[in-house]
Structure 1
Amino acid sequence: MPAHVLMLSSSRVGDEDYLAHAKPMILSHLGDKRDVLFIPYAGVKVSFDEYTAKVQAALPECRVTGLHTFEHPAQAVTEAIQAGKAILTGGGNTFNLLANLYKNSLIAPICLAIESGVPYIGWSAGSNICGATIRTTNDMPVIEPPSFDALALLPCQLNPHYSDYHPPGFNGETRDQRLAEFTTLNPDTPVLAIREGTALELSRGKLTFKGEYGGFVFSGKEKTAIEDGDDLSQFLHR
């Protein structure tokens, strides 16, 4: 069954309420499903219980259960296939998220669930892990996962929270320079850079960019703009 995946750049745009801009996309992506497993492992300074409660408050239409509450998380993900549940993964620190996925042996079960038709929605770190690796995350490596290899739902890389803003007087490397470093060393691996308030949707074998703020594809030495509705299915193949 084709994967049904929504990769949101961020949980907020500007100073809006938590998940406010994303909620219509989330509910539409879920279809008639309202039971969701929430993966809170990207949280560091917030407890997993608090994080789950925050998502539940933002999505009162859904029944949100934290994956951390199960004695056997991998089994809970596997059972989501038959239970008709969806999987949500929140933002935070991508390294902490991936380390916890490896710790709980969740990479293969999550991929299997998605391959079996379980809807998946992630934002920020939860989107980062949909790429081949997490090597283009903006996050600090506060913990070392066993590998940078991620879910590989896309064979390319993602960069949520993309911004090309260059503060006056700032002398560090810009986001564009950092992404260009990656594509210089990995010229055959594109990076899909998506601004806050935008998303990528993988459904029915098609990858589509969504959002009025636009984004960019970094590939080799090229930087190409992408706009709302653009078909990016070429990046599903390497």
Structure 2
Amino acid sequence: MRLMLLSNSTAPGRGYLEHAAEPLGDLLTGVRELAFVPFALADHEGYTATVAAALARFGVRVAGAHTGEPAQVVGQADAVFVGGGNTFRLVSALYRTGLIEAVPALVREGMPYLGSSAGTNVATPSLRTTNDMPIVEVPSFATFGLVPFQINPHYLDPDPTSTHQGETRDERLRQYLEENDVPVLAMREGTWLRRDGDSLSFEGADAGGRLYRQGTDTVEIPAPTDVSYLLNG
């Protein structure tokens, strides 16, 4: 499998996907047509146009999965990109359109997969570590399972000066581990994962990320770091 999983698709002062242009170019080498899955946002046409403009620099033509039978649109492409937005809305659409089965089957056969935010969430076994509000009901929390661990995109460190009385992201992930013995890679903004077969690299911004595991202390993960061991399950 060839995967690129971004915490975020935009960065301050940069265009859409511009902060990850170099590794993205590597992923898209040889790709002429990419299928974009826009279902995490309501404006499918506008979202697809944004992606098409960003990927034009790579000579890639973008087809929105909403423009036809979604599984067929994806099946005819050379690569697939699942965009960010609300993870619950995205997962609901994946089940409704049959993409929940079609996409991982194609990716396991070698189709390059690009995900950002919600699209990164669904590359994991479950949506349980999303940050999003459940604005729609989903048939199941089960997602693509392209990696055997969980990811928390857009990770925010606790602010010691905050007067907010709700749970921090750190507390929520620790609660997840109270019920689930599956590691979570918390990815700060500007970071991404690249998988090429059995090799997995955590890359991007100096901020890096944090690895949460049941029964052990959290560990800071700098970027770049080889995290292939996370593929062992």
The TM-score with structure 2 as length reference comes to 0.93
Q: Distance in 1 between matches of 2:158 and 2:21?
A: 27
- Correspondence for 1:79: 76
- Correspondence for 1:123: 116
Quick one: which of 126, 133, 158 aligns to 2:151? Answer: 158
- Correspondence for 1:97: 90
Tell me: CA distance 1:143–1:15, structure 2 relative to 1, closer, same or farther (3 Å).
Answer: farther
1:30-58 Cα offsets, whole Å, 9 max, x none, are 112131100001103xx101100011122
- Correspondence for 2:48: 52
Deviation at 1:29, TM superposition (A): 1.2
Q: Contact 2:34–2:79 (CA<8 Å) still a contact in 1?
A: yes
Q: Distance in 2 between matches of 1:143 and 1:52?
A: 22
Identity of aligned residues (%): 42
Deviation at 1:60, TM superposition (A): 1.7
Larger CA deviation: 93-102 vs 50-59: 50-59
Q: Contact 2:158–2:170 (CA<8 Å) still a contact in 1?
A: no
Q: Contact 1:41–1:48 (CA<8 Å) still a contact in 2?
A: yes
1:140-160 Cα offsets, whole Å, 9 max, x none, are 000111001000011111101
Deviation at 1:165, TM superposition (A): 4.0
- Correspondence for 2:9: 11
1:66-124 Cα offsets, whole Å, 9 max, x none, are 01001x211222333xxxx1101111001111110000011111111101111010100
Quick one: which of 38, 41, 52 aligns to 1:40? Answer: 38
Which residue identity is paired with 2:207? Y
Tell me: CA distance 1:60–1:78, structure 2 relative to 1, closer, same or farther (3 Å).
Answer: closer
Tell me: CA distance 1:174–1:15, structure 2 relative to 1, closer, same or farther (3 Å).
Answer: farther
Q: Contact 1:40–1:67 (CA<8 Å) still a contact in 2?
A: yes
- Correspondence for 1:235: 230
- Correspondence for 1:223: 218
- Correspondence for 1:66: 64
3-state SS in 2 of match to 1:155: coil
The TM-score with structure 1 as length reference comes to 0.91
Larger CA deviation: 201-210 vs 166-175: 166-175
Q: Contact 1:92–1:124 (CA<8 Å) still a contact in 2?
A: yes
Deviation at 1:204, TM superposition (A): 2.4
Q: Contact 2:63–2:73 (CA<8 Å) still a contact in 1?
A: no
Q: Does 1:173 align with 2:171?
A: no
Structure 1 unmatched ranges of 5 or more: none
Q: Distance in 1 between matches of 2:141 and 2:100?
A: 12
Structure 2 unmatched ranges of 5 or more: none
Deviation at 1:15, TM superposition (A): 4.2
- Correspondence for 1:143: 136
Larger CA deviation: 227-236 vs 169-178: 227-236
Larger CA deviation: 23-32 vs 96-105: 23-32
Which residue identity is paired with 2:53? A
Q: Distance in 1 between matches of 2:157 and 2:192?
A: 17
